[in-house]
Amino acid sequence: MPLRVLRGIPVPWRVRDDSSLQGVLDLEVREDDIFVISYPKSGTVWLQKIVSCILGCGEDQTNVNLGLELSLGSGGSEEEIRAAPPVYKVVETWTSPRVMITHLLPRLLPAQLLAKKAKMLYIARNPKDVVVSYSHFTSAVKAPEPFPQWEEFVPAFLEGNMPYGSWFTHVKQYWEMRHHENFLFLKYEDLKKDEHAVIHQVGRYLGQNLDAQKIKEISDHCSIDSMRKKFSEKKQAITMFMDETKSPFVRKGKVGDWRERLTTAQSQQFDQLYEEHLGGSGLTFDY
């Protein structure tokens, strides 16, 4: 599996080296910065698009839908990854407000983030659906060595042997931040169930009083079908290193898709780990 272990966590091989993590930590944060954070395949880009629409960010920013820690290299070789700029450098040129993505754990976020009172939005998704989406995604990623196939992918996911480590650890650490005044915790399932309500909630968090017409416009512009169409018509940063003939980046966006892939025994393994890590935390997922 194409991973690096840096500062005690597995990260994608597109994190060039430790200097990339240090670059994120040292990022000069602005007061009006927005950080969209998640474990991979949890609705990150969907939420980024919604936030960008609410704030009126330009296409030049929203097309860069990669984590701050990643290289913009589009190929599958180490040389290309090292030759391309990291995203944390690219965002220095962006006009405010900036909407940035990362999958890093809290201890690796920019050191200035809390002091500058920039806003954070975290989106979490049922881990059973995450593992299905993640498996499809990695099957299309260009890399020097392949990711595991489905039979080995599920055990690796449960063990946390994935880019960004354990889903359970990731979500738990961010769930524990939910009461911070500049932090909003969202669930993918809620966005699917009532997108208009979540857009309204996000707008209020960002200081925007959106009327019903504006919410509908944002919803239409950022729907799964609309994103699928835009991603097919115009290359985004994240699709530059994918072979979308194997699996498109914007796939089903479905809730409960895990029921078609996971066995009863596998589902029970997820439930057991969830209880061990998040039982009694108050965080639950439908489906």
> What positions carry a catalytic annotation?
103
Whats the size of the chain, residue-wise? 287
Helix spans in 56-126 (H): 59-62, 78-83, 87-90, 113-116
Is residue 282 helix, strand or coil?
Answer: coil
State how far the Cα of 24 lies from the Cα of 105, in Å rounded to an integer.
12
- Do residues 160 and 170 make contact, with C-beta atoms less than 8 angstroms apart? no
**CA 112, CA 52: separation in Å to the nearest integer?**
22
Q: Which helix (H) or strand (E) holds 173?
A: helix 167-175
What does the alpha-carbon distance between residue 194 and residue 219 come to, in Å, rounded to a whole number? 10
Q: Give 104: exposed, middle or buried? Use CB within 10 Å, 0-12, 13-18, 19+.
A: buried
How distant, in Å, are the alpha carbons of 54, 91, 200, 272 from that of 203? 7, 23, 5, 36
Strand order in the sheet with 183-187: 99-102, 34-38, 119-124, 183-187
